[in-house]
Structure 1
Amino acid sequence: MQPALGEKRRSLRVRLAWSCICVSTLGRAPSSCDQEQQSALEEARRPRSDDVVIPECAHGGLYKPVQCHPSTGYCWCVLVDTGRPIPGTSTRYEQPKCDHTARAHPSKPRDLYKGRQLQGCPGAKKNEFLTSVLDALSTDMVNPASDAAASGRLSEPDPSHTLEERVVHWYFKQLDKDSSGDIGKKEIKPFKRLLRKKSKPKKCVRRFAEYCDADGDKALSLAELTGCLGAAREGRAGGRKPPGEPRPAARPPPRGAPVALRAAC
């Protein structure tokens, strides 16, 4: 069945709106999400502007990793510092699983745990403990990998990540059920159970969640989880690069998708 003329015109307006957003991020310094959002809100107040795309923003002028276009039902992942769509991530009527740290211009992470003491777990014991936790997480990641890959839910790893970083990124996504970018009080319970069951020495387990919460907000960010497990420490000894994996073939863009959304297909 051919789409009605009104639907065709509406689809064209969506494409044109997205074309403007794409062009606005090229050839100049990217403005913050807050600025883009304000411009979009002003445009949305004009007549016949129902299809204007208003970006969702996080703190610090960043974009939320998942962006959606409610009237068409499409969602896709973006680079959180520029808002540019990430190829191969578009979905319709469901939210994709996105990397909360994906950036066009990655910043060097600050080591939040340099000199931070884990009570009752000094020196060599702490190193032994972190190794046991990462080994347990690595095993958990590998075991369900085939099932997750078959269902299309296992995201492609960043080739620049060490094996330890890849493991922590994977585990963070498992814990962050609401895709908020933080692991809250309820979401952290499986992590505490894993620490009790699969890590040693046991003296290191008691205060570890508190140790990871560097800013004391009762939640763990990806940077905190990566840092407290020692996966992002500069000059980490034994940092392993995962074996290279072929990139999956790009999916064809959905018919009627907005222009920028085609970049995410």
Structure 2
Amino acid sequence: MRVPDWCSDSPEKRVVFGSDPYVVETWRELPAGWLPATTFLLLRPEAIVARVGCTVLGRARSAGFTPLTAVPIRFDRRMVREIWRHDLNGTPPSRLRLLDFLLTAGDCLLVVVRHPDDAARRLRALKGPSQPRDRRPHHLRSLPGVSQVGPLTYVHTPDEPIDVVRELGIFLDTEQRRRVFAATSDDVVRTLTQLENAVEYRDFSLEPALDRIRPYAPSDLIGEDAAWLRVQDNPRISRWDAVAVAAHSCAERNSVPPTYVCLRDEFAKLAGART
């Protein structure tokens, strides 16, 4: 299929995604006019546990986004690799394992939102950078009361309209997509609250997590590569405390997973191979 120019700023990406099975399948199901006025934000597991979802949604509403519906999502290894397939090329296996550990720790919430003017690109800009030092107070990722370390980004959004199409094809099955495309309004906060009530609260601060871990594991965890591997399978240690250790250990080493490639070069290479 030919991806319209307005769906991506990259000609090479449009070529590559024109034969992507997730794009092709989902594109055929899109209602007329659904894009480009609709996108989604994904509240990651750490956002659910830290109870920051309502803050994120409130900021999105203030910026003109209207929530339409919400679908609970659970990452698995396949989803991690498919969502960031082109970003993760060349990433060391240890970083992939850490990304798996963080994202599969609990439920996410996919919140479909509408904005009358180029929804995907506007929400991407509002989301803010991955690196905490580059975030500004208005960004969705600049959240008070929770740890601001690189691996904990709290919110994911697609970059462009064509990414919305592709990622919905990965996250949702055909019936789920049908309901999402038909949604006009929903009690998103109720769904969010249900997810929050099902898990223990954590703000991912390091010292409280270490205090809870120390009776059951060595205390020299921070700064050690893949330190989380030493605590992840201990039944007496909270998975969320292990996530906090993993995030801070990674930040301490100034290495934020995943190791992203230059997408422009990646898409150019792939597009050249298909023409």
Higher RCO structure (Cα 8 Å, ≥6 apart): 2
Q: Computing the radius of gyration over CA atoms, which structure comes out larger, 1 or 2? A: 1
Give the TM-score taking structure 2 as reference length. 0.21
